[in-house]
Amino acid sequence: MTNIAIDVGTSYITVYVEGNNVVLREPSVLAYIGEDNELRAVGKEALEMQGKTNEKINFVTPIVDGYIEDEESAATLIGELLRKIFPSLGKVFGTSLSAIVSVPVGITVEERKKYEDVCVRAGIKRVEMVDKVLLAALGAEVPSDGALVVAIGGGSTEIAIVSFNSIVTGCSINVGGNMMDRAVSDYVSGKCGIRLGKLAARKTKESSASLYEDDVAKEEIKGLNTDTLTPVMAELYTADVYRAIEPYYDRIAETVMCVVNDCPPALAQAVQERGLFVCGGGAKIPGLKEFLQKKTSLPVRVCPDPEYVTVLGGGRLITDPDLLDEINAQ
């Protein structure tokens, strides 16, 4: 039996393999072709096809706002990505997998069953589901006796106070990187008259975004003129991207304060002194630390390689079955 951990995200699927660390991180998208919906590509290959193919290609993102929406496509996606790592998966006498899988905080019994069914259909023999924010706390190695964890993903942001391997209070909000991509695309369309595809909008955000309000950097962007649909170029300032995404980070800060205000008295001092531990792909933006410190008046620590923190927490559980039992017992 091979032990793995999977972070099932709206934007990316990330896989950790015992003894090998993180071995795969690919976009959560599939490409189907024709009326019969024949699978054409998954992950990176499917994402690179967007905006470059004819209308017969149908792109599917089975995980929406942090939750599995299309079970069949989700199982296909995870299964195909796992077979990139384990070619014999699903074959007689092939690789047998046991997986720790990240799930959103507060999901129902029915939703947990959906995650389990999808993973089993993908070829995983044994499935252990753990709240994403708990895995993030383990991956970030936050103090065990109380810490505030903020995980900014592609489809949602999870915010929780974690103590002794349990969630004391917290919530999930539908704010994430995908919404910010759309906001950047809409802003560029309105200000520059340029239409950006999904992939171009994401790349523009990743290269230009900053939460420093006075950032004067700029870059040249390419896209289609919204009126003539001809290729055009324009200059985009970092301050423009700031205006597009700032409301989303504002909402994250506001929700952080709601969770802090709901903090039990016994943990209040620890949270005030230690502040926020921030992870997830949305934590990679320059200026996030200073932005959240200003908005919350709390210390802020952005985790190194924040997009891998959750799956690394799963990797830690692989080697500590007693800790996994403790979490499951709560």
In this structure, the answer to whether residues 100 and 7 fall within a common structural domain is: yes
Q: Say what the pTM is.
A: 0.91
In this structure, the answer to whether residues 25 and 100 fall within a common structural domain is: yes
CA distance 309 to 141: 9
- pLDDT at position 20 is 93
Among candidate residues 244, 260, 279, the one where a domain is terminated: 244
In this structure, the answer to whether residues 215 and 114 fall within a common structural domain is: no
Mind listing the pLDDT tens digit of every residue in the chain (330 residues)? 899 999 999 999 999 999 999 999 999 999 998 777 899 999 999 998 887 776 688 999 999 988 999 999 999 999 999 999 999 887 867 789 999 999 998 888 999 999 999 999 999 999 999 999 999 999 999 998 899 999 999 989 999 999 998 999 998 999 999 999 999 999 888 888 888 888 888 888 888 889 988 888 888 888 888 888 888 888 888 888 899 999 999 999 999 999 999 998 989 899 999 999 999 999 999 999 999 999 999 999 999 999 999 999 999 999 998 888 888 877
Residue type, 8: V
Tokens of 158: 């999870």
Contact 113, 120 (CB under 8 A): no
In this structure, the answer to whether residues 98 and 11 fall within a common structural domain is: yes
> β-strand 12-17 against 2-8: which pairing, if any?
antiparallel
In this structure, the answer to whether residues 48 and 98 fall within a common structural domain is: yes
Predicted confidence (pLDDT) per residue in 227-259, tens digit: 888 888 888 888 888 999 999 999 999 999 999
Residue 7: which of 31, 29, 24, 30 has the closest Cα?
A: 24
In this structure, the answer to whether residues 15 and 121 fall within a common structural domain is: yes
Contact 33, 45 (CB under 8 A): no
In this structure, the answer to whether residues 160 and 22 fall within a common structural domain is: no
Tokens of 41: 């590509």
In this structure, the answer to whether residues 110 and 192 fall within a common structural domain is: no
CA distance 248 to 250: 5
DSSP letter at 303?
P
Residue type, 80: E
CA distance 102 to 292: 26
DSSP letter at 155?
S
**Around Cβ 109, how many Cβ atoms within 10 Å?**
7
Among candidate residues 244, 260, 295, the one where a domain is terminated: 244
CA distances from 41 to 22, 48, 122, 179 (A): 22, 10, 16, 24
- pLDDT at position 34 is 78
DSSP letter at 169?
E
The count of structural domains within the chain is 3
**Domain harbouring 90, CATH code:** 3.30.420.40
In this structure, the answer to whether residues 254 and 223 fall within a common structural domain is: no
Residue 280 domain boundaries? 136-175+246-306
In 3-state terms, what secondary structure has residue 235? strand
Contact 193, 236 (CB under 8 A): no
In this structure, the answer to whether residues 159 and 290 fall within a common structural domain is: yes
In this structure, the answer to whether residues 15 and 145 fall within a common structural domain is: no
**Domain harbouring 220, CATH code:** 3.90.640.10
In this structure, the answer to whether residues 209 and 301 fall within a common structural domain is: no
- pLDDT at position 124 is 95
Burial of 125 per CB tally in 10 Å (0-12, 13-18, 19+): middle
CA distance 89 to 254: 45
Contacts of 121 (CB under 8 A, 6+ apart): 71, 75, 79
